[in-house]
Amino acid sequence: VIILRSARPEDAEQILEIYRPSVESTPITFEIEAPSVEEIRQRIQDISIQYPWIVAEDQGEILGYAYGNVFRARPAYIWSAESSVYVKKNSQARGLGTQLYRKLLELLFEQGIFNVIGGITLPNEASIRLHEKMGYRLVGTLPQIGFKLGQWWSVGYWQLELRPASSLGGKSPPGIAPPSLLK
């Protein structure tokens, strides 16, 4: 059985091995050299203070993960978060990305987030399908914005409105709650 739970620092090795191929041989992430296990451990710890970082686990094996993160650091952006998702190669196209994103979005909603943004290096059919299936819509593309693996890549931004911004009638939105832990 596959369970969804919050990531732990000890998951860093397995998370890095899922992430590594995207760094080393694709433009999916604009990171160019694979981070160390220690660096991933630190990211899990730092991000988990503010956003959910969840993994899909099958009897000790991590098959995929998803997390929220700061979209832009300036304070007025606090109600908007970025989302990321990675599924292990041999476990892709079996619904895991969908399960992970569904839970991630539920947790971000609970925190009080209004908007979630996914940046997708183009092309990436699987990722576009997943984001659109969850309700994200393409809001803009930055053409030829990153150079990796000998060529320029464009990034499309997909946005999901988790709750309507118009519902406040000019009042400030409530603060963002800490993420809840999934045991």
Q: How far is CA 155 from CA 69, 111, 152, 176, 182, in A?
A: 18, 27, 10, 28, 31
**Minimal distance, residue 146 CB to ligand COA, in Å:** 13
Residue 105 engages ligand COA in binding (rule: CB under 6 A): no
Q: Which residue's C-beta sits nearest to ligand COA?
A: 97
Output DSSP code: residue 131.
H
From 69, 124, 154, 159, residue interacting with ligand COA (rule: CB under 6 A): 124
* Exposure letters 116-143 (e unless 16+ CB within 10 A, then b): bbbbbbeeeeebbebbeebebeeeeeee
- Contact pattern from residue 2 through residue 21 relative to ligand COA, giving x for each residue in contact according to CB under 6 A and a dash for the rest: --------------------
- Select 22 or 154, whichever has its Cβ closest to ligand COA: 22
- Pairing, β 137-148 against β 151-161: antiparallel
From 126, 145, 165, 181, residue interacting with ligand COA (rule: CB under 6 A): 126
- Contact pattern from residue 59 through residue 98 relative to ligand COA, giving x for each residue in contact according to CB under 6 A and a dash for the rest: --------------------------xxx----xxxxxxx
- Select 120 or 162, whichever has its Cβ closest to ligand COA: 120
Cα–Cα nearest to 181, from 82, 44, 42: 44
The interface region with ligand COA, picked from 2-10, 74-82, 121-129, 148-156 by CB under 6 A, is 121-129
Single-letter residue type at 85: V
Q: Is 144 exposed, middle or buried (0-12, 13-18, 19+ CB in 10 A)?
A: exposed
What does the binding site for ligand COA look like in residue numbers (CB under 6 A)? 22, 28, 85-87, 92-98, 118, 120, 124-127, 129-130, 133
